[in-house]
Structures are given as C-alpha cells and as structure tokens.
Chain A
Amino acid sequence: MKVEGKRRIWKDYQKEIAEDQYFYVRSCVRQNFFPASEKTFLRIMREELNKDVYENAAHTTCSGIGYHSDIVPFETTMTMVARQFALMTESGYHNFTTSCITSFGLYTEILETWNHFPEVEARVREHLRKATGREFTKPENLSHASDVIFKFRKEIADKGKYRLINQFTGRPLRGVEHIGCHYSKMFPSKGVGGAEYPYVLVGMIEGWGGEVIDYPERRHCCGFGFRQYLIQANRGYSMSCSKKKFDSMAPYKPDFILTNCPGCPMFLDRWQYTLSEMEGITYGENGQGIPVLTYEELAGMILGYNPWDLGLQVHQVPVEPLLDKMGIPYDAEQKFLNKEGMSMGKPKSPSFLKFY
C-alpha cells in the first residue's frame, strides 16, 4: 500500500487525547519487567511538559491478566475497573490514562459494554457500593500512555538532544513498530490510526527522525496469549508467534523494534534470547539481537536521559548498538551498579547472543 493511502486511513481514525490533568494507573507487567519506563513517563510529563499526572496509591491491578486467563469473571473485572474509576473520581480527575494495553482494551470494552447494556453498569455500581462503599463517574477521556506521548511527540522532538539518525551514515534509522493487540484490534476507533495501520508509534518514529519499515507480519500478535505463556506447557505457541515476526522482519534489517504494550517488549526481547539458545539464531548484525524498546525508553533516549536511568540494562538484547548509532554516550562500567554506585555483580553471558 502506498503511504498516501495509509495517511488517508489515519485521518479517519483520529482520537481525542486529553491535554492535561491525567489520572494515571500502572501496569502489572511493566512494573515487573520495565519499571523505569513508567518512571520515565512521569519524568517526561512532569519535568519536560509541565503536565499534571496524578497517581493514587490505592489503585491496584485491574485483574486483566486474570480475566484473559479466564480465572476472573467479567463481573469481577468490571467491578475492579469501576473501583479504579472511583479512585479517579475521588481524586478530582476526569482524564484516565493507563500504562497497560490489556487494561486499556478492557477499560474500552467495559465502557462500550455499559453503553450498550446500561443495566450491567447499574449492577456493577451496586457491586462496588456493596463491596467498597465507593461511587464513580466515568472518565471524560480515556487514553493509553502511548497516546499521550504521541500527542506530545513534537514537543519531545523540540527538546530532544538526539534524533533517530545514524551518526555513521547520516541516514535515518529504520525501525519496526509493534502495537499491542488490545490497543485497537477490538475497537479500532479508540486507537490513533485504527487497527490495520495504527499511527501511534509510527508518528513517534517519524517525528523523531526515523523511518518505519513495513513488513509482512507487522500486525501479528507477539504471542503472549495469556495462558499460552503463563503455563510452561503452552509456551511453544508464544515463542512461535514471535519467531514468525522475527523471520518476517529480519530481511529488512531493522535497527530497533518499538512497542507500546507491556508484554510485547518483554517477549520480543526474551524470545530472541531463547531462540538463540535453542537454535543458535540471532536476528541482528554480528551475533547481536534487534534491540526492543518501549516508547518511553525511546523518548528518553531522544531527550538525552542516562540510558541506565531508562532501564536499558534490564534488556536481554543489549541496546548499546542503537545507542552507538544515535551517538548517545554511556558508561558501560555503570551498567549493572546499584543506586549507590556499588556492584551487584553482572548477568551471565548467553551462549550465542552477543551480550558484552
């Protein structure tokens, strides 16, 4: 498809994203595996953009992974979500922003369900009242945190110290973008750019100087599949999905993979390691992998934040090759030190995937 055609489609899928005063809820997966990305989101919003982003310490999981593993009933998850809305209401906010794509999909699905079935909303309100004594108003604006970074991509570029330009060649760096399935596959109108050609990450890559690679399996799932990863016996499904994507993107020699879902960067990072151990395959240059980034990590790199403050040291596929191409300095000796600058030892090196 020609780019002009895609731009026409993107114009049909523009969503409203609040300008300020966000009630922020966290992601279970990201807090475990990419905690610094959430830290970076708040740093950019508060320190670079002077926005009001509030976190209520009483918020919890939305139970989404439990719901999509089918152990938690829909009625329970809807009430858990209603409690998050109640905390937003009690805190005086109207714009709800979530770090998690599974949550974003569920919040969207639940609000749509309540629109279609008002009696279900009434029942959930009663559940919440009985269980917690809380009441809620629905958000005026619902966004995923990647929507918010997308909205302010130009401001980030303006403040940026680096661009997605290969300092050795002067050419734009080339990335593949991977959108979490639950961002817009269920409700295309709720995602920037829709479901077939989402623009949320493309806009960031292009806005920060890079080029986006189109490849055949661009929209294929990373393979999380909830129970398909969480149970060891099923993990072949999960890895096979990622392998299909790697095999499809590798001929285009991407400099990086950019993601907006909590699970996807973890799987696309870890399955590169697993495939290297199982079959000796590496997908980058010279035995390296393809670096996998969250959108906050990439935004932080553009802004010139210390790579180890961004959490790039907890990637199994090293990000240093991309830092080198962008001309971002880093101190390799600091990579695995604790906050006080003391050693915590170092991870072992994989058998094939170049790590040190």
Chain B
Amino acid sequence: MGELYNKLAIDVRFIEGLKACLNCGTCTAICPAAEFYNYQPRQIVDVLQTHDDAAIENLLKSDTIWYCGECMSCVTRCPRGNAPGLLITVLRAASQDLGYFTESEKGRQQLALKRTVGKWILQYGYCLYPSEILPEMHPEQGPIWEWEHEHIEGVMDRLGANYNKSGPGILRKIPQEDLDEIGRIFDETGGTERFNTIEEYSKQKAAEMGLNLDDSPNSDYMKHIYTTNNKHHGKKL
C-alpha cells in the first residue's frame, strides 16, 4: 500500500465509498458522464483497488477525474454499496491539495470555479448572485435572463424578493457579521487554505504556459481555462 493511497484512504468519504468492487460496470452503465466523455467510473475504482501510487498519481494529473458530474446515480445502483461519485470527491480534493490539478485542461478550471462560486460564497453568502451572472457569459440563459438582468431590482421586487436589503427573505443582504463567521469557518477548516492552494498552483501554471493571470476575470489564463475545450474528451465510438 502506497503513501498516496494511504492519504486517500483516511478520508471518511473513501471509507464509505469503497468497500469491495467486483468491477461489474453497473456504475458505468448508469453514469451520465460515461455517455458523454471517455470516462468509466468502474476504471476509477479499479485503479484505486490496485493501491498503486504511480497509477493513482496519473489519475490525479489527468482530465479523467474531472468528467464526473457528481449526480451520484452510481451510488443507487452499485450492488456492493460502493460510491464511485464519492471517491471522485476525494480524488479531486487530493489533486488540488497536491497541486496536480493544473496538469490537465479540466483540472485547471478549478481556478475559475474558485474565483466565481468561491468568491461569491465569501462576498455575498450565496453560491450564486444575480448581478454576477452576466448574460454574455451565459447565452444559454436566453432573452428572459437578459431582461431579468437588465431590470433585476424591479423583477426581484415584483417576485417578492428582498434583494440586497436587510432582514429575512429572498436574496437579502447577509449581514457582515455573518459573512465574517463564514470567513472564520473557512480559515478554521481548510477552506481558505484550499483557495490559496488553487491560486498558487494556477499562477505557477499560467507562468509556465506564458499566459497573463492577474485578479481580473478577463486575464488571458482565466479566459483560457473558462473556454478551452480540446475536443478530445468525448466518448470513443
């Protein structure tokens, strides 16, 4: 048993997620990601069961672990009570903590997630916030969202929200003392450290790739990771 495997194996989600896999492939049969990407949750579990650190390290540096949508459909169907989707969460955590995530196109996207959802959690107390969901970044949201975004205060008011105001209610302004509590929870529990790690390794990778990365959402590296798709991720037919 390798050192890397041991690191993964102490996570409670690993203990809960991997009992004994017989490689039947039921998880792959039900997996939405396996239909779209060149991806098989069965293979992920197979690699983990080898306890082979070199193979696991390759996995952590690959696009493969980032294909899962964490819908957890595999959990329902596994005849042995394994949870491949839960194992993915452990692998992704390790890939970031060890700085391996920047070695793959899909892994590098973590910085964009940290600088959007991660930032909004700490800044607003919400994972999403309407003024930040820009129609030009979300054409799929259609003309209805363009209209809503343009008239956000009027629309939210009409729909009964308490948008950006004090007190309870929909999209209320969360008091600063509560946001401060969130910040301290992140400091205490490793959330801040995870964010800093994502930033640090992403800056190294941006320099290595010769792409500008500053605090702006429009810096070259940010645009690159948000939009790049090398078209080689698909299911091989």
CB interface residues, B 132-146, toward A, < 8 Å: 133, 137, 139-146
CA of A228 to CA of B109, assembled, Å: 10
Stretch in A9-17, A55-63, A136-144, A159-167 with 4+ CB within 8 Å of B: A55-63
B187 within 8 A of A: yes
A213 within 8 A of B: no
Q: How many A-B residue pairs have CB under 8 A?
A: 268
Pick from B16, B116, B127, B170: contact of A113, CB below 8 A: B16
B160 within 8 A of A: yes
CA of A311 to CA of B68, assembled, Å: 33
Decide if B69 touches A31 in the complex (CB within 8 Å).
Answer: no
Candidate in B110, B118, B144, B226 with the most chain A CB atoms within 10 angstroms: B144
Decide if A131 touches B117 in the complex (CB within 8 Å).
Answer: no
CB interface residues, B 69-103, toward A, < 8 Å: 69-73, 75-76, 83, 89, 92-93, 96
CA of A130 to CA of B186, assembled, Å: 12
Given A76-B185, A80-B185, do A64 and B147 touch, yes or no (CB 8 Å)? no
Stretch in A200-208, A250-258, A270-278, A324-332 with 4+ CB within 8 Å of B: A270-278
A149 within 8 A of B: no
Q: Give B89's nearest chain A residue, CB to CB.
A: A70
Decide if A71 touches B188 in the complex (CB within 8 Å).
Answer: no
Hey, which chain B residues are within 8 Å of A188, CB to CB?
76
Hey, which chain A residues are within 8 Å of B191, CB to CB?
72-73, 75-76
Q: Give A120's nearest chain B residue, CB to CB.
A: B12
Stretch in B21-29, B32-40, B207-215 with 4+ CB within 8 Å of A: B32-40
B20 within 8 A of A: no
Decide if A221 touches B140 in the complex (CB within 8 Å).
Answer: no
Decide if B198 touches A71 in the complex (CB within 8 Å).
Answer: yes
Decide if B140 touches A235 in the complex (CB within 8 Å).
Answer: yes
Closest chain A CB from B4 CB (angstroms): 18
Stretch in A33-41, A44-52, A168-176, A280-288 with 4+ CB within 8 Å of B: A33-41
A293 within 8 A of B: no
Given A35-B171, A185-B76, do A270 and B113 touch, yes or no (CB 8 Å)? no
A221-252 near B? 1/0 per residue, CB < 8 Å: 10111111011111111011100100000000
A313-325 near B? 1/0 per residue, CB < 8 Å: 0111000000000
Closest chain A CB from B81 CB (angstroms): 11
Decide if A132 touches B160 in the complex (CB within 8 Å).
Answer: no
Decide if B92 touches A223 in the complex (CB within 8 Å).
Answer: no
CB interface residues, B 153-193, toward A, < 8 Å: 154-161, 166-172, 174-175, 178-179, 181-182, 184-191
Q: Give A271's nearest chain B residue, CB to CB.
A: B140
Candidate in A76, A186, A339 with the most chain B CB atoms within 10 angstroms: A76
A93-130 near B? 1/0 per residue, CB < 8 Å: 00000000000010000000100110010000001101
Hey, which chain A residues are within 8 Å of B117, CB to CB?
65-66, 69, 71, 230
Hey, which chain B residues are within 8 Å of A78, CB to CB?
189
Pick from B109, B166, B171, B185: contact of A128, CB below 8 A: B185
A151 within 8 A of B: no
CA of A70 to CA of B89, assembled, Å: 7
A346 within 8 A of B: yes
CB interface residues, B 44-89, toward A, < 8 Å: 66, 68-73, 75-76, 83, 89
CA of A339 to CA of B154, assembled, Å: 7
CA of A273 to CA of B145, assembled, Å: 12
B13 within 8 A of A: yes
CA of A186 to CA of B35, assembled, Å: 20
B205 within 8 A of A: no
Q: Give A60's nearest chain B residue, CB to CB.
A: B125
A354 within 8 A of B: no
Hey, which chain B residues are within 8 Å of A338, CB to CB?
151, 154-155, 157-158
CA of A106 to CA of B190, assembled, Å: 18
Decide if A38 touches B170 in the complex (CB within 8 Å).
Answer: yes
B220 within 8 A of A: no
Closest chain A CB from B166 CB (angstroms): 8
CA of A188 to CA of B75, assembled, Å: 10
CA of A188 to CA of B72, assembled, Å: 12
B229 within 8 A of A: yes
A152 within 8 A of B: no
Pick from A60, A128, A220: contact of B174, CB below 8 A: A60
Decide if B168 touches A345 in the complex (CB within 8 Å).
Answer: no
Decide if A76 touches B189 in the complex (CB within 8 Å).
Answer: yes
A348 within 8 A of B: yes
Given A58-B178, A185-B75, A224-B69, do A347 and B113 touch, yes or no (CB 8 Å)? no
- Taking beta carbons and an 8 Å cutoff, which residues of B are in contact with A? 11-13, 16, 32-33, 35-37, 66, 68-73, 75-76, 83, 89, 92-93, 96, 106, 109-110, 112-114, 116-118, 121, 125-130, 133, 137, 139-148, 150-151, 154-161, 166-172, 174-175, 178-179, 181-182, 184-191, 194-195, 198, 225-229
Q: List 15 A-B contacts (CB under 8 A).
A: A35-B156, A35-B159, A39-B159, A66-B121, A116-B12, A116-B16, A117-B12, A127-B185, A220-B32, A225-B70, A226-B70, A236-B229, A273-B144, A314-B155, A348-B147
User: Told that A241-B69, A270-B141, A274-B140 touch, could you supply 14 new A-B pairs with CB distance under 8 A?
Assistant: A31-B161, A35-B161, A57-B166, A71-B96, A71-B118, A76-B191, A105-B72, A116-B16, A186-B83, A195-B76, A196-B76, A227-B113, A270-B145, A349-B143
